[in-house]
């Protein structure tokens, strides 16, 4: 294992980011119980005192690291948080969103799994920005005429995220090549869309997604690896 940075940047904001980069690596490798401020400082290539100036306790560091993973998820799925509030749910590209999340999950399986477990353990999951926007988007969608009536958006949100973040664990994507991960991500994305099309979405309102699913069914999608 090599240092993330060998020289401490002078900018406190940059220093914090260096710490979080190292913390994400350790969080993915060792989990929250195996992470310490000292170990993160060593990996980041900074003085332990500097790390403790930013995070006085391990608990603070774990919380901030989990938050940074949530921020990465948010940007990958929804883009700039400042513009999301102006987006109409009818304008969301469901295929692109589903594919983006599947790609992120297969590329970052350990981080996503740990983030998800932290979310499950949280007393206030609505405080997490990614979960708040993801669940909120699905809730707003179920309130439109593009969704089947009577959908429980909270249950649906949890089902979709659980599958999305556990699929890479099941298929051991950390052992796969880039090309194999893309195939695995596409397989999950298509089945997620199929489940939605024949469960929560009114199929007649999404002909392009129906065509994508039908075309995918004509290809070889056997398990990779």
147: nearest Cα among 94, 109, 106, 110: 94
pLDDT of 7 over the 60 cut: no
**Half-sphere exposure (Cβ direction) of 52: Cα atoms closer than 13 Å:** 5
pLDDT above 90 (res 16): yes
Query: What is the assigned CATH class of domain 1-64?
Result: mainly alpha
Q: What is the spatial distance between Cα 11 and Cα 77, in angstroms, rounded to a whole number? A: 29
Kindly tell me if the per-residue pLDDT of 23 is higher than 50: yes
Q: Does residue 9 register a pLDDT over 80?
A: no
Grade residue 8 by pLDDT with cuts at 50, 70 and 90.
Answer: very low
- Residue 219: predicted pLDDT: 60
- Extents of the domains making up the chain: 1-64, 88-217
Instruction: Determine the Cα–Cα distance for residues 53 and 65; give it in Å rounded to an integer.
Output: 16
Q: What percentage of the chain has pLDDT greater than the value 70? A: 91
* pTM for this prediction: 0.77
- The pLDDT value given to residue 57: 93
Model confidence at 222, in pLDDT bands (50, 70, 90)? Answer: very low
Residue 224, pLDDT > 60, answer no
pLDDT band for position 88 (50/70/90)? confident
Q: Is 77:97 a contact under the CB 8 Å cutoff?
A: yes
Strand partners of residue 201: 147
What is the pLDDT, as a whole number, of residue 218? Answer: 63
> Sorting pLDDT into bands at 50, 70 and 90, what band is 79?
confident
User: DSSP assignment, residue 201?
Assistant: B
């Amino acid at each position: 294992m090599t240092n993330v940075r060998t020289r401490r940047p002078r900018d406190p904001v940059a220093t914090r980011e260096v710490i979080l980069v190292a913390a994400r690596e350790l969080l993915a490798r060792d989990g929250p119980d195996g992470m310490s401020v000292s170990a993160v400082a060593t990996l980041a290539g900074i003085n332990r005192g500097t790390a403790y100036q930013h995070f006085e306790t391990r608990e603070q560091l774990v919380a901030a690291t989990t938050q940074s993973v949530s921020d990465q998820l948010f940007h990958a799925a929804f883009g700039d948080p400042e513009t999301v509030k102006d987006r109409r749910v009818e304008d969301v590209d469901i295929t692109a969103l589903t594919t983006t999340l599947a790609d992120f999950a297969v590329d970052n399986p350990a981080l996503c799994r740990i983030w998800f477990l932290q979310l499950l353990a949280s007393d206030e999951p609505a405080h997490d920005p990614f979960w708040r926007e993801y669940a909120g988007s699905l809730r707003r969608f179920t309130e439109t005429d593009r969704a089947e009536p009577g959908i429980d958006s909270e249950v649906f949100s949890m089902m979709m995220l659980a599958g999305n973040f556990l699929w890479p664990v099941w298929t051991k994507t950390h052992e796969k090549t880039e090309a194999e991960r893309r195939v695995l991500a596409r397989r999950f994305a298509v089945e997620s869309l199929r489940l939605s099309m024949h469960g929560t979405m009114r199929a007649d309102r999404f002909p392009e997604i129906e065509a994508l699913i039908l075309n995918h069914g004509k290809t070889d999608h056997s398990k990779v690896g």
